[in-house]
Amino acid sequence: MKNSLTILAIALLLVSIFSCRQESGKEEKETSSKEPLSENYNISILLDLSDRISLTKNPNPTMEYYQRDLGYIKSVSEAFTQHLKTKRIRQIDDKMQLFFNPEPLDPEINTIAKNLRITIDKNNASKNLLNSINSNYAAQTSKIYDSAIKDDHFIGSDIWNFFDTKAKDQCVEKNYRNILIVLTDGYMYHENTIITEGNRTTYLTPELIRKNGLNTKDWNKKLQEQDFGFIKIGENLSNLEVLVLGINPGKKNPYEEKVITAYWTKWFTEMKVDRFEIKNADLPSNMEQIIKDFILRQK
């Protein structure tokens, strides 16, 4: 009787082990058949084509500022294609686009910008297309800067208005990782958007910084206590990440860069921007890794 019970117990144990292995194999097969989740990127680039890129007003013997912009854009497009090449073809659904505000008067520039609005998905993704993005973006954006500099009629860049009226509609899409790259020197001014509310403004210039007395060691205390900054906008940009590149403060005020950064930081925080970084106008070779880390970093 004891031997029979022992044999029965062994048999039940073997059946149990075999069943567990089958279930384990089934689960493993189901898990391996699922593709890893991959984010879809929606990258926007906002160009400031104001006189900050003028070769006569703001020359730089080391590297002209427009050339730095082109280097930053190159790093952005390379990060975008690097992201695409990590995905399976059927997973690809990504976008990259370029904006100005206001639009330049030159129709050729606007045509180029429209051609640089790229949407890549499983229906058009190909090795040739992915390999052409970087060279195409470099060539076409170079034409934009060449035309703007040759025209020598810089109408300014209305960045405040862009964030107030266009950023959410044009740069934010549901189910995407939305990234906005802003190329600017950090100052803001456009003749059509000059608004003042208390110590808040829609613009920031070296003259305004001096006028408000933000050029002494007590600048931060004064900025906080007297509430200097950009006028708040009504949009909630919690689904947007922003990287500002090219901050180029005037040399007369040793605190200028800190004041500019404080203005932008306060503004982005009030807009509830998901994540942001503000970088100065360093050489593209020094900024390349910073740009790629910002874009490719997993949230």
Work out whether the CA dihedral 260, 262, 267, 272 comes out positive or negative.
positive
- Quote the CA–CA distance of 286 and 291 in Å, as a whole number: 10
Q: Please check whether residue 41 is in contact with residue 76, taking contact to mean a CB–CB distance below 8 angstroms.
A: no
Q: Please check whether residue 66 is in contact with residue 50, taking contact to mean a CB–CB distance below 8 angstroms.
A: no
Pairing between β-strand 229-230 and β-strand 241-247 as defined by DSSP bridges: unpaired
Alpha-helical runs (H) found in 157-199 = 159-165, 167-171
Tokens describing residue 100: 């100005």
Distances (CA, A) of 146 to 51, 66, 94, 122: 13, 9, 28, 34
Tokens describing residue 246: 């090219």
What is the full per-residue pLDDT of the chain (299 aa) written as tens digits?
545 545 544 545 444 544 544 444 444 433 333 444 569 999 999 999 999 999 999 999 999 999 999 999 999 999 999 999 999 999 999 999 999 998 887 888 889 998 999 999 999 999 999 999 999 999 999 999 999 898 887 877 899 999 999 999 999 999 999 999 999 999 999 999 999 999 999 999 999 999 999 999 999 999 999 999 999 998 899 999 999 999 999 999 999 999 999 999 999 999 999 999 999 999 999 999 999 999 998 65
Q: What are phi and psi of 288, to 5 degrees?
A: -55, -50
Rounded to the nearest 10°, the torsion over CA 5, 6, 8, 11 is 170
Distances (CA, A) of 189 to 115, 287, 290: 28, 26, 27
pTM of the full structure = 0.87
Pairing between β-strand 200-201 and β-strand 229-230 as defined by DSSP bridges: parallel
Residues forming a β-bridge with 99:
46
